Amino acid sequence: MNRLVCSVCCGAACMLLLAGCSGWQSALDPKGPAAGELAWLIWFFTALCTVVWLLVMAVLILPLARRPAPVGDPLVLDAAAERGKMRIVVAALAATALILVGLTLLSYFANRTLAAIGSDAALTIRVTGHQWWWEVRYENDQPNRILTTANEIHIPAGEPVRLVVTSTDVIHSFWVPNLSGKLDLIPGHENVLDLKADKPGVYRGQCAEFCGAQHANMSTFIIAEPRPVFDAWLKDQLRPAAAPVSTEAQTGHDLFLKRPCVMCHKIGGTIAGGTVAPDLTHIASRRTLAAGTLAMSRGNLAAWIADPQGIKPGAHMPVVGLNGDELNAIVAYLEGLK
């Protein structure tokens, strides 16, 4: 019985571990040159170290299995045998030094490759970490072409992109394992992360540095698209917010500007200009709410506004205290912000 429970537990643990290797948010399933370089390095290090470990274990176990030599006078040394043993020790030492230097060189050249990825990046995106969401700003020389959005980073597939990352409160870490290694977001300091997605796709990322109560609910998505699709998306996002189409949405628009929403959030084209919370100009075009906590839908929008502290306790979105009609109207308005 005990053995059965044990084997079931072991099996479950193995399956859990193996599940980590599947493609969704896995460093072992590279989709870009940076992640590819790192995955190759991981596999090579693991394979080489496994071989070394097996050899060392074999050498340790071998003497245990052998019949012990008869003990003679411990003061009498056999010069030839001692010299032989010394040769083995020196050879092992040399092999160790060689392997370590070799691995160091490999890691050095891998780092050089990583550093060269973004040298000709045409697109610079500023990612600012907040408790607990990501502010994303597409830099441009023309101020009216600068785009600010949140939590979802669209990039053109097959082109290198430069991310300049920083934070406003505590240290966060940006990690999209399918595309690159992780990099810390440090308050008052800018780090640069270059990455490239080989093919179009959606790649999930997660804050990788404990940053407070809702660290687990701070995820991001990199959405790689073919260049024309990306250009169309960027052009679309630069438009001011869509005007409300129904009377309910119009009521929601007016309420949004009268109630606490307007203190923190921005909606382009209206007087709402807060920059301390996610930009809502095109919120309905995003896939998730509250940094990947909820899928985007009318119901989830309403739930989030009605009781953010029940869904993401500790988040800076307060309970605003709207009645049912007000809530419905505001949700109707936000739902139209495609």
Rounded to a whole number of angstroms, the minimum distance from the CB of residue 140 to another protein is 27
Which residue has 């607990």 as its token pair?
132
Number of residues lying near another protein (CB under 8 A): 21
**Residue 263 touches another protein, criterion: CB under 8 A:** yes
**Rounded CA gap, 61 and 23, in Å?**
39
* Interface residue with another protein, options 44, 182, 306, 328 (CB under 8 A): 306
**Rounded CA gap, 50 and 73, in Å?**
39
Rounded to a whole number of angstroms, the minimum distance from the CB of residue 267 to another protein is 16
Rounded to a whole number of angstroms, the minimum distance from the CB of residue 329 to another protein is 15
Rounded to a whole number of angstroms, the minimum distance from the CB of residue 138 to another protein is 24
- Residues in region 186-245 near another protein by CB under 8 A: 187
* Interface residue with another protein, options 86, 276, 295, 297 (CB under 8 A): 276
Which residue number, 157 or 255, has a Cβ lying nearer to another protein?
255
**Residue 303 touches another protein, criterion: CB under 8 A:** no
Q: Determine the interface stretch with another protein among 15-23, 24-32, 68-76, 256-264 (rule: CB under 8 A).
A: 256-264
* Interface residue with another protein, options 85, 109, 318, 325 (CB under 8 A): 318
Rounded to a whole number of angstroms, the minimum distance from the CB of residue 129 to another protein is 14
Rounded to a whole number of angstroms, the minimum distance from the CB of residue 253 to another protein is 16
Spatial strand order of the sheet with 152-156 comes to 152-156, 219-225, 201-207, 172-175, 183-185
Q: Kindly give, in sequence order, each residue whose CB lies less than 8 Å from that of residue 36, ignoring residues fewer than 6 positions away.
A: 30
**Residue 316 touches another protein, criterion: CB under 8 A:** yes
Query: Of 238, 222, 221, which Cα lies nearest the Cα of 289?
Result: 221
**Residue 299 touches another protein, criterion: CB under 8 A:** no
- Residues in region 127-186 near another protein by CB under 8 A: 169
Length of the chain: 338
**The token pair that represents 330 in the structure block:** 């505001």
Rounded to a whole number of angstroms, the minimum distance from the CB of residue 321 to another protein is 4
**Rounded CA gap, 125 and 105, in Å?**
31
Q: What is the pattern of x (binds another protein, CB under 8 A) and - over residues 28-67? A: ----------------------------------------
Rounded to a whole number of angstroms, the minimum distance from the CB of residue 134 to another protein is 18
Rounded to a whole number of angstroms, the minimum distance from the CB of residue 254 to another protein is 12
Q: Determine the interface stretch with another protein among 145-153, 194-202, 287-295, 310-318 (rule: CB under 8 A).
A: 310-318
Which residue number, 169 or 248, has a Cβ lying nearer to another protein?
169
**Residue 323 touches another protein, criterion: CB under 8 A:** yes
Q: Which spans of this chain sit near another protein (rule: CB under 8 A)? A: 169, 187, 258-260, 262-264, 276, 306-307, 309-310, 313-314, 316, 318-321, 323
